Amino acid sequence: MAMAALRREGRRVLLSTPSPAAAMAVRSPAVSQPEIAPLGARSISTQIVRNRMKSVKNIQKITKAMKMVAASKLRAVQIRTENSRGLWQPFTALLGDTPSVDVKKNVIVAITSDKGLCGGINSTSVKVSKALHKLTSGPEKESKYVILGEKGKVQLIRDSKKSIELTVSELQKNPINYTQIAVLADDILKNVEFDALRVVFNKFQSVISFKPTVTTILSPEVMEKESESSGKVGDLDSYEIEGGETKSEILQNLTEFQFSCVMYNGALENACSELGARMSAMDSSSRNAGDMLDRLTLTYNRTRQASITTELTEIISGASALEG
């Protein structure tokens, strides 16, 4: 009874005239943990910390789930990527690779992802593409972009809007297969003029390591010129062309086929890298959430104990004041 009266007294004191001392007392725990006491509360409330803990726990669950999803998708895509690795090797064995070729019209095909939360792989691809753009632009040369994937588009549209020739999104709506890529390659080849195509993607080395890679594909005319002048394109001339049509037609078909094969492998490798990067990003995010949760739990316990102590102190001091 006495305690109830005291408690009511205490409340009235707090509400009516928060004296500077009382305000300081209220504010000092508030300084270390702001918003600890919502206005009108009788003692320090743990509600806010509890809310934060709940939301952090939810975030941890979500990121853990995203990591598991990425891991399971990665297993499937990784098998297909490894199987497709043999596809571009015959072309490189035949035609060699000439990234330092000097041509007038360069087209940079950047393969990026549509979804985010996948670490830094899209930024790396965009950085490499921009550096290639700088490398291949010059007084008489020009360089254009063809972008596959939303994330690359968003980043490149900011400063290179004029150089973007074509953008493609929703590449991974259905699992990547060769037919889809072949149609896409056909589209690009029809609509974009090029002397050299540079396909930029992230090659999947392992679950934690992705290396930006660039594959150069020359148009048939440039290829003929290069094979005549230097030895880099190999001894293309020494190869007999089996086919009814002219050499240039066969070379044209060869270029188109090479482009679609390289793009297929590139898209698969990039998808693998995206999933691997997402796995590690989500993993570090759930670990961070776990750390945050630990810290919040400590805060929560401290707040709870402080409020109990405060209540007890009030009661005891009130009781001892009564006794005299």
In the complex, the residues that contact other proteins under the rule CB under 8 A are 67-68, 71, 74-75, 78, 80, 82-94, 96-100, 127-128, 131, 134-135, 178, 182, 200, 203-208, 211-216, 235, 238-244, 250, 253-254, 257, 261, 264, 279
Q: Which is closer to other proteins, CB of 100 or CB of 174?
A: 100
Question: Rounded CA gap, 91 and 96, in Å?
Answer: 7
Q: Which two tokens stand for residue 324?
A: 């005299």
Nearest distance, CB of residue 92 and other proteins, angstroms: 4
3-state secondary structure of 118: coil
Query: Which lies closer to other proteins via its Cβ, residue 46 or residue 152?
Result: 152
Output the smallest distance, CB 82 to other proteins, in A. Answer: 5
166's tokens: 């074509």
Q: Which is nearer to other proteins, 68 or 319 (CB)?
A: 68
Q: Which is nearer to other proteins, 44 or 223 (CB)?
A: 223
Residue 61 beta carbon to other proteins: minimum distance, rounded to whole angstroms: 10
Q: How far is the CB of 51 from other proteins (least distance, A)?
A: 23
**Nearest approach, Cβ of residue 205 and other proteins (Å):** 5
- Radius of gyration, CA atoms only, the chain: 32
CB nearer other proteins, residue 60 or residue 303: 60
Instruction: Give CA separation, 229 vs 55, 155, 278, in Å.
Output: 66, 38, 46
The nearer residue to other proteins, 200 or 222, going by C-beta atoms, is 200
**Number of C-beta neighbours around residue 177 at 10 A:** 12
In the complex, least distance from residue 75 CB atom to other proteins, rounded to whole angstroms: 6
The answer to whether the CB of 264 falls within 8 A of the CB of 87 is yes
The CA distance from 314 to 321, in Å, is 10
CA-to-CA distance for 120 and 71, rounded, in angstroms?
Answer: 18
- Please, are residues 104 and 195 in contact by the beta-carbon 8 Å criterion? yes
Q: What does residue 201 show for φ and ψ, rounded to 5 degrees?
A: -155, 170
